[in-house]
């Protein structure tokens, strides 16, 4: 196994506003009045246990409900938490909404099977003491704490009732697990019978955080930040075999997956989210209890220009290695300014994929050489080497290939988790 360790002392923490300003993105406004915001000492007792990066409504990789939104419907979503706690709260995002989003009600429950939940586990959530709340356009909020003890790696079900008409919905395209929809108010339903519609995307839900009633919170959380490989495209749906799941199982630490399929370091995309340098503050730095960010991104920046007749691969300028490295340096500075450790991951082999071409070959080699040798990351996970085909180092090993030459399969994601765990 090719592992690189780099010793580095993180720079002192500076104000979060300065960090976000460096990245060109302001934090989303909160829907809670300032008087209702938790005191800093109480907020610090929370640990991020699950997350998904918000995206603007789009057609996506598979059919979804983001563009039509919801009207008089209940949406039920299942997520797997990677930290335990005696209480829990959710984080909701209207980041890409153009009008206030009214949540008529929400519940949290232990998952039974599919859309069913365990009887007796349903907790009605409140927001500043009220069951209904409106989230401003481009805003986000956290619920109040719910007294529901959760185990590490347990699945939890979040149910939102949307009595009005929402318009297009802020969502996360690639969930790799089913979400469910029913007509009317089904917040309190334990059965799955009413939830007859499914997609594999998440809607409005961007985080689940856990806490204890006393004691110190966990501060060893890990954010995996990147594109479709971090998002675990090619993993088996409804089996929790994502890269992030494998890392949480291996390390025992909280792991938050903040990948977006198709995401770019340097450019915004109508299909694939805001550029990494714009969303890094919201999606990586603003996670309670996190100490480490693992960065894996750049294949789309250098590969989109190689693909032909791909209308979603826009913008697709020819990006040089030096430009991508400058983007990495921006993220490294921001992580260190926040007092976080950042692990750099080499770009995976891509020969044979639609991202492959002479420019992508040269740029990926230059970028990977810099990641390995510059010493600017706190550690390096060398995915390029561990996932390469022994017969052709520029291709993914067939044993780890989802069969598109670009994305790993379940076994590949397990190997990625093993590689990262060795340098944490």
Could you tell me where in the chain the CATH 3.40.50.1110 domains are found? 3-12+217-421
Identify which has the larger pLDDT, 98 or 217. 98
The model's confidence at residue 288, banded by pLDDT at 50, 70 and 90, is very high
For residues 368 and 361, the answer to whether their CB atoms sit within 8 Å is no
Which tens digits make up the pLDDT trace of 189-203?
999 999 999 999 999
Of the candidate CATH numbers 3.90.1570.10, 3.40.50.1110, 3.30.56.10, 3.40.50.1010, the domain formed by 3-12+217-421 belongs to 3.40.50.1110
Reported as a single tens digit per residue, the pLDDT across 324-366 is 999 999 999 999 999 999 999 999 999 999 999 999 999 999 9
pLDDT exceeds cutoff 60 at 70: yes
Phi, then psi, of 219 in degrees rounded to 5: -130, 25
pTM: 0.90
Q: Is the pLDDT of residue 33 over 60?
A: no
Pick the residue with more confidence: 169 or 26?
169
Stretch 412-420: mean pLDDT: 98
Condensed to tens digits (0 to 9), the pLDDT of residues 219-237 reads 999 999 999 999 999 999 9
Rg (CA), the chain: 21
Distance of CA 115 to the CA centre of its chain: 22
Please say if the pLDDT value at position 32 is more than 90.
Answer: no
Across the chain, mean pLDDT equals 90
CA 230 vs CA 7, 152, 181, 260: distances in Å? 25, 21, 27, 8
94, 138 contact by CB (below 8 A): yes
Domain 47-209, what fold? Answer: Jelly Rolls (2.60.120)
Residue 278 has pLDDT above 70, yes or no: yes
- Pair type for strands 105-110 and 123-124: antiparallel
170-175 mean pLDDT: 97
Distance CA 301, CA 324 (A): 8
Question: What residues does CATH 2.60.120 cover in the chain?
Answer: 47-209
Strands, E assignment, 364-419 = 379-381, 388-389, 392-396
Q: Return the biggest CA–CA distance within the chain.
A: 62
């Amino acid at each position: 196994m090719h592992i690189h360790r780099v010793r580095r002392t993180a720079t002192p923490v500076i104000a979060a506003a300065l960090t976000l300003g460096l990245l060109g993105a302001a934090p989303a406004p909160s829907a809670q009045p300032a008087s209702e915001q938790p005191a800093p000492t109480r907020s610090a007792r929370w640990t991020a246990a699950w997350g998904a990066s918000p995206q603007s409504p789009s057609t996506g990789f598979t059919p979804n409900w983001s563009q039509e939104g919801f009207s008089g419907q209940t949406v039920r979503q299942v997520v797997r938490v990677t930290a335990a706690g005696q209480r829990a709260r959710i984080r909701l995002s209207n980041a890409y909404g153009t009008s206030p989003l009214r949540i008529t009600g929400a519940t949290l429950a232990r998952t039974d099977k599919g859309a069913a939940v365990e009887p007796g586990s349903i907790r009605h959530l409140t927001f500043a003491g009220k069951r209904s709340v409106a989230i401003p356009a481009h805003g986000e909020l956290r619920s109040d704490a719910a007294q529901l003890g959760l185990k590490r790696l347990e699945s939890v079900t979040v149910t939102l009732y949307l009595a009005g008409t929402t318009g297009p919905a802020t969502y996360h395209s690639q969930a790799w697990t089913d979400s469910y929809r029913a007509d009317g108010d089904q917040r309190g339903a334990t059965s799955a019978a009413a939830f007859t519609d499914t997609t594999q995307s998440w809607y409005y839900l961007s985080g689940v955080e856990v806490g204890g009633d006393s004691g110190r919170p966990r501060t060893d959380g890990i954010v995996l930040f990147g594109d479709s490989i971090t998002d675990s495209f090619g993993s088996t749906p409804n089996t929790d075999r994502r890269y992030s799941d494998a890392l949480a199982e291996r390390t025992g630490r909280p792991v938050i997956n903040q990948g977006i399929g198709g995401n770019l370091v340097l450019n915004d995309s109508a299909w694939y989210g805001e550029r990494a340098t714009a969303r890094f503050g919201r999606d990586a730095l603003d996670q309670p209890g996190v100490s480490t960010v693992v960065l894996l991104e750049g294949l789309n920046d250098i590969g989109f220009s190689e693909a032909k007749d791909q209308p979603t691969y826009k913008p697709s300028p020819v990006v040089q290695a030096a430009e991508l490295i400058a983007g990495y340096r921006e993220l490294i500075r921001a992580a260190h300014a926040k007092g976080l450790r950042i692990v750099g991951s080499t770009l995976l082999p891509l020969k044979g994929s639609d991202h492959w071409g002479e420019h992508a070959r040269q740029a990926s080699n230059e970028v990977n050489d810099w990641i390995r040798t510059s010493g600017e990351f706190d550690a390096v996970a060398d995915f390029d080497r561990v996932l390469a085909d022994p017969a052709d180092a520029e291709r993914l090993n067939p044993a780890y290939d989802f069969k598109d030459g670009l994305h790993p399969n379940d076994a590949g994601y397990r190997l990625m988790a093993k590689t990262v765990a060795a340098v944490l």
